[in-house]
Amino acid sequence: MPEMSKKYIPEHMHDKDPNPKLLKFVRRVTDRFDGKLKGIKVEDPEYWGFACIFEDEMTETERENSLDLLLEMKVRKKYPYADMLSMCAKHGMEQKTADSIMDKLSVLGMMEYDYGDKYTKDGPIPGTTYNKDDRHYWIPLFVPGSAEYTNMNTKLMDKHPELAMFFERMTFLPLAGITQMIPPGGAGIGMHVIPVEQAISMENTTADIEHISYWLKKYEGHLGASICSCRYGRKKLDEGCADDYDGWCIGVGDMADYCRETGRGRDITYDEAMEILKRAEDNGFVHQVTNIDGENKIFAICNCNVKICNALRTSQLFNTPNLSASAYRAHVNKADCVACGQCVEYCPAGALKLGQKLCKKDGSEVTYPKQELPDATKWGEDKWDEDYRDKNRINCHDTGTSPCKTACPAHIAVQGYLKMASQGRYKDALALIKKENPFPAVCGRICNKRCEDACTRGMIDRAVSIDAVKKFIAAKDLEDEHRYVPEIVVASNRGRWKEKVAIIGGGPAGLSCAFYLAQMGYYPTVFEKNEKPGGMLTYGIPSYKLEKDVIDAEIEIMKEMGVEIRTGVEVGKDVTIPELRNDGYKAFYVAVGCQGGRYPNIPNDHAEGTQTAVEFLKKATTGECHFEDETVVVGGGNVAIDAARVSARSGAKKVTMLCLESRDIMPASDEEVREAEEDGVTVNCGWGPKEVIAENGKVKAVVFKKCTRVYDENKKFSPVYNEDETITIPATKVIFAIGQAIEWGSLLDGTKVEFWHGNYPVADKLT
């Protein structure tokens, strides 16, 4: 059983003199076997969850009158208004007092009422009235019932946030001993999932009750939007998600009236309800209806996020879909499937997994396990799954999935966009790529093609030209006909988010953050100290590899989505983080990157004529760099290659590149090295810098020593040199491409950021 939150300590958890009437009442309401048989104790959530209301929200007279009335009633038995008055009179309450008690109990969530549920499939029965004397009152369950109603009362929750803990506990505890008894469909205990209506083929025969539109038409005129008790409760515990809590629960029929009249909701039209449901589907939420009142009757449609929905969490904790099931079963249409795997990644219950359908070496088929169900298996605690959140994120069986997607650093569904491109569905292919990568055109030009290295076709002849296809698709994004601007999907029914987010740094990481925040409905602001955004894309990667108009085009899409980019603003110098906080920014994403280069700490490594590759490439891009006759580049990675090739292409008569590694273990790709040599660069492997020779403070040559080992037996970088074997390379310019470093400047002044190992900020272990 998951541990209870420690965010709050319930005030009444250790009452020494508990109210005996309250103990008797909550014992009657609870559906826990132990509580029914042995009684409720003060440390039980049934007691302290209600004690904070009865003891703190009522006068002594109100408390006694309320408990006297409640103890006259049976749980979930409906009593007409006249009978309620009679029971109140039995305890000496006049009508005015009785009305006050019933109203207060209803507002606090201890009592529920309806107007007789007078509806047909075509709507309310004509002539139905909705006066107080038409009401029927009853005591609700804890869940679904009082726990939700208390968590939907924001004023009550602000005073008693421990009610969120009460709600969470009461979703788990009652089911611990009876999970194995719950048959498919929930038997009225759990929730019933309603499928997305457009997913149901019109050729299928489905019951009306499986269609959301059926319920909305039935209760049209009595629909309401309310606070989601799960989202609001989890928010109070600091365990929420990014959703707005308002308006996701749609009350129908008399429940809509009850929520409006007790301050929990507002009336909405049929069209407004459909808008909420469509927005929920766009966000990947699950439509669930209550199924505790029998056939052809519901009182709410919940739009549940599996991250915080107590019903779905409970179903997954006990590892049984029976608690939250649908009569509709989805099937894959093989003709439409492009094998992108998105259904697996987005399924909130982790019900799908990817695997291989290739046969085994002996020719037999690969088989996969099926989910056990409690109605067919003994279901003890060994069948529960407290790690359901982590396990639901496991998208593949041990057989794995497509190697190209696995190898891709962004895990883009390669096989999916290849299929879409073959069908001419370029905009769909772009949409699929941009789910994981906001820069398809950029990456199409500079990607190191790990997907092609892993392509199984390469074992037969040669790999599929995946990068070329991606580049072709991305080029379509520059055409108006196929241009894809992602839809803004906001997890709120109140429009885009008003909270201000500051992104410090306009490079690939900062712009990616801005892209996805904008897609989620935020208006992020990017602060970039340079004149143009793009970071290393703009100021690092040479234009012969990556045209600057391609970067501009992809950034323009972000601006269309609502991203604001402020260039020429250095945070820490022109404006500080505390000043931005005072200006209303609520969150900060620091994406300054490693914009500084490293020097090798050898004699004269800062002599005139030496530069880091990062500095050199930036100046080369902006036209500030003077190219010397003899240039030496130190380093063996792709940045070193870029520096060497830019030098060779820009007038340097001789460019020599030296690195520690042998040719076979150079960090730079074989293709990059080959292209550098084609540009006239001389590549010498197995040498490390020993000394820069300078005359009058200016570079004249570089002395290198032989590197005999780069990595130790544990694959750790630990170079060993032969100091006696050296070479001297004449040079008027030396470019060091041996690593990069973070330059914080004054950025973090006024913050609580701590550092370790010198320049690295300490990260939160949880987040």
Which residues is 416 bridged to in the sheet?
A: none
Tell me what percent of the residues of the chain surpass a pLDDT of 70. 90
Read off the pLDDT of each residue in 541-569 and give the average, rounded to a whole number: 94
Residue 441: pLDDT above 80? yes
- Count CB neighbours of 752 within 10 A: 5
The pLDDT confidence band at residue 540, using thresholds 50, 70 and 90, is: very high
* pLDDT tens figures, 291-318: 666 667 888 999 988 888 887 777 777 7
- Count CB neighbours of 620 within 10 A: 22
User: What pLDDT is stored for residue 280 in this prediction?
Assistant: 92
The pLDDT confidence band at residue 203, using thresholds 50, 70 and 90, is: very low
Which of 65-74, 173-182, 255-264, 447-456 shows the lowest per-residue confidence on average (mean pLDDT)? Answer: 173-182
What gap in Å lies between CA 622 and CA 567, rounded to an integer? 16
Whether 500-590 and 596-741 share one fold: the answer is yes
Domain 500-590: CATH superfamily, name plus number = FAD/NAD(P)-binding domain (3.50.50.60)
What gap in Å lies between CA 356 and CA 60, rounded to an integer? 67
User: What pLDDT is stored for residue 336 in this prediction?
Assistant: 76
Read off the pLDDT of each residue in 677-704 and give the average, rounded to a whole number: 96
What gap in Å lies between CA 274 and CA 477, rounded to an integer? 32
DSSP letter assigned to residue 488: P
Tokens for 328? 């509709």
Residue 184: pLDDT above 60? no
The pLDDT confidence band at residue 205, using thresholds 50, 70 and 90, is: very low
Read off the pLDDT of each residue in 548-570 and give the average, rounded to a whole number: 95
The pLDDT confidence band at residue 362, using thresholds 50, 70 and 90, is: confident
Helix (H) or strand (E) holding 406: helix 403-407
What Rg, from alpha-carbon coordinates, does the chain have? 33
Query: Residues 530, 568: contact at Cβ < 8 Å?
Result: yes
Q: 64 or 360, which is more confident?
A: 64
Residue 89: pLDDT above 90? yes
Residue 370: pLDDT above 80? no
User: What pLDDT is stored for residue 204 in this prediction?
Assistant: 40
Residue 561: pLDDT above 90? yes
pTM: 0.85
User: What pLDDT is stored for residue 202 in this prediction?
Assistant: 40
Read off the pLDDT of each residue in 95-102 and give the average, rounded to a whole number: 97
Read off the pLDDT of each residue in 93-110 and give the average, rounded to a whole number: 97
The pLDDT confidence band at residue 209, using thresholds 50, 70 and 90, is: very low
Domain residue spans in the chain?
A: 20-140+151-164, 175-325, 413-484, 500-590, 596-741
Instruction: Return all residues near 581 (Cβ < 8 A) that are at least 6 apart.
Output: none
**Class for the domain spanning 596-741:** alpha beta
What gap in Å lies between CA 297 and CA 160, rounded to an integer? 33
